[in-house]
Amino acid sequence: MAIAKPFLLSILTTQLLLSACSDHIETSLYTQNLPEDSITIVAVGDIMLGGTAEEILLREDYDYPFKHVKPILSNADIVIGNLEGPLTSICNSNMELDKKYIFRSPAEKVAPALKNAGFNLLNLANNHILDYGTEGMYDTIKALSDIGINSVGAGKDITQARTGTVIQTSDGKVGFLSYSLTFPESFWATDTSPGTAFGHKQQIIDDIKRLRTQTSSVIVSFHWGREKTTKLRPYQPTLARAAIDAGAAVVLGHHPHVLQAIEKYNNGLIIYSLGNFVFGSYSQDAKTSVIARVTLNKGKFHSAEFIPINILNTEVIFQPQILLNSAASGVFEHLNQLSEPLNTRLDQQNSRGYLHAGQNKIQSLIRNN
């Protein structure tokens, strides 16, 4: 999509003003009081470094989107996001797709940028990873692997797609599983064809129990729900809670492009949708999101910190900006409204949101610091 130069100049000016405010990242009292032997995971939503972002990224470089959030991404044992669309140079898909949007981005530019930003794991179980066929999916897996980034949720058949990925940290192994519950159905792997893992409830339970025998904790990602809506589909809490009951510590959701509720359930954490992170579109539907910094201790969910970000690309131009003060409060008020029916509420301090596995403890942390 071509952008008129006066409009582009206007949003670039807005971006510079926002950048001046977002470069300051306050020290978190919460993360200063974590127990020893903790594992920290930073999770973000949808990533697509193509589409209408391509013009900006080719000019600025592909490290550009992560400038203001890199200190957060760099401060974790594991950093995971949902990669929407293959990293490939293929020009034409060999699949017949009844889709409005088809995504791809250049592997030689995007993979190093994701590595530089801090990512070491990317979810591929989504409704875009096969936009350029199975070859595009394989190109993506290889491009990520070649640069030292793990992937999860896709493979040569359903067995491989469901296998999961294990990452070794200094404080234990963490297992990751990922499932796509979105169409097209042709993207779902079978016994004899490649693709993404579809999430049947019993298969999810079996996979979690299997991976728990190999790791200290398991995290499950779901690509699910309805786009551009905060309302949960009935199957979302059903599957999320089944995953926690089966032994998962955390459930991460994406696909709606907007934030959905957070739920503290049975000593586990469910984030139903992380919304967008960096996404190549000027859509007005995706305005704010969060970066989730989740801490595991002794194999279980311990606590989480939520950093609010502005992702409205007509303002930030594909470069998420950290929100502070009243803008941050607005994000947490929205999240708390969504999460109240699930008996979950975030504490807020210094433009961050907090949740603890037990009783929320941010105030006592601040008093004791």
pLDDT score at 130: 96
86: number of Cβ within 10 Å? 32
Q: What angle do CA 51, 55, 61 make, to 5 degrees?
A: 105
Q: Is it the case that residue 177 has pLDDT exceeding 60?
A: yes
Q: Is it the case that residue 16 has pLDDT exceeding 50?
A: no
Q: What are the tens digits of pLDDT across the range 270-324?
A: 999 999 999 999 999 999 999 999 999 999 999 999 999 999 999 999 999 999 9
The ranges assigned to domains in the chain are 34-300
Q: What are the tens digits of pLDDT across the range 192-248?
A: 999 999 999 999 999 999 999 999 999 999 999 999 999 999 999 999 999 999 999
pLDDT score at 11: 44
369: pLDDT confidence band, cut at 50, 70 and 90? very low
pLDDT score at 251: 98
What is the second-level CATH architecture of the domain 34-300?
Answer: 4-Layer Sandwich (3.60)
Q: Is it the case that residue 343 has pLDDT exceeding 90?
A: yes
101: pLDDT confidence band, cut at 50, 70 and 90? confident
* Residue, of 269 and 75, whose pLDDT is higher: 269
Q: What is the mean pLDDT of residues 164-190?
A: 97
* Interacting residues of 141 by C-beta distance below 8 A, sequence separation 6+: 124, 151, 154
pLDDT score at 219: 98
* Interacting residues of 27 by C-beta distance below 8 A, sequence separation 6+: none
pLDDT score at 36: 85
Q: What are the tens digits of pLDDT across the range 104-122?
A: 999 999 999 999 999 999 9
91: pLDDT confidence band, cut at 50, 70 and 90? confident
pLDDT score at 22: 41
Closest CA to 245 of 272, 220, 222: 220
pLDDT score at 354: 96
Q: Is it the case that residue 367 has pLDDT exceeding 50?
A: no
Mean residue pLDDT across the chain:
90
pLDDT score at 95: 60
Q: Is it the case that residue 136 has pLDDT exceeding 60?
A: yes
Pairing of strands 268-271, 352-356: unpaired
Q: What is the mean pLDDT of residues 81-86?
A: 97
Q: Is it the case that residue 19 has pLDDT exceeding 60?
A: no
Percent of the chain with pLDDT over 70: 86
pLDDT score at 34: 80
pTM as predicted: 0.90
C-alpha separations of 143 from 22, 107, 137, 264 in Å: 32, 6, 10, 36
Q: What are the tens digits of pLDDT across the range 24-77?
A: 444 455 556 788 889 999 999 999 999 999 999 999 999 999 999 999 999 899
Closest CA to 308 of 324, 293, 295, 284: 324
Q: Is it the case that residue 148 has pLDDT exceeding 60?
A: yes
pLDDT score at 103: 87
pLDDT score at 360: 62
Residue 336 · residue 312 · CB < 8 Å = no
90: pLDDT confidence band, cut at 50, 70 and 90? confident
